[in-house]
């Protein structure tokens, strides 16, 4: 699995506090091993984002992403529930 990031994701990630960056790196390791690990609460989105997925970093922050061909992933954005959806 390869993970790619959008420019939007990169800009938002840079603005996160250090503790959230550390936590997101921990969750990414879990995600790479198993995208549907229960600790991530991975779920498919609905409505205009029906092709997108999301997983939780903590109770407040999450990453929105797409499954691409060949098991590749594209991280679209990172933020709070209101910012991501």
Q: Where are the alpha helices (DSSP H) in the chain?
A: 7-14, 18-33, 81-84
| Residue 81 pLDDT level (bands cut at 50, 70, 90) | confident
Dist CA 39 CA 57 (whole Å): 9
Question: What is the rounded average pLDDT of the residues 18-28?
Answer: 96
The conformation of residue 16, written as its DSSP 8-state character, comes to S
The conformation of residue 59, written as its DSSP 8-state character, comes to S
Give the predicted TM-score (pTM) of the model: 0.92
State how far Cα 83 lies from the chain centre: 12
pLDDT value for 85? 65
Q: Which two tokens stand for residue 29?
A: 């390791």
């Amino acid at each position: 699995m390869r993970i790619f990031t959008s420019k939007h994701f990169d800009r938002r990630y840079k603005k996160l506090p250090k503790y959230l960056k550390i936590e997101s790196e921990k969750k990414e390791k879990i995600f790479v091993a198993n995208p549907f690990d229960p600790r991530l609460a991975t779920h498919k989105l609905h409505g205009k984002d029906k092709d997108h997925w999301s997983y939780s970093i903590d109770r407040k922050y999450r990453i929105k992403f797409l499954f691409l061909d060949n098991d590749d992933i594209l991280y679209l954005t990172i933020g709070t529930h209101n910012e991501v959806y």
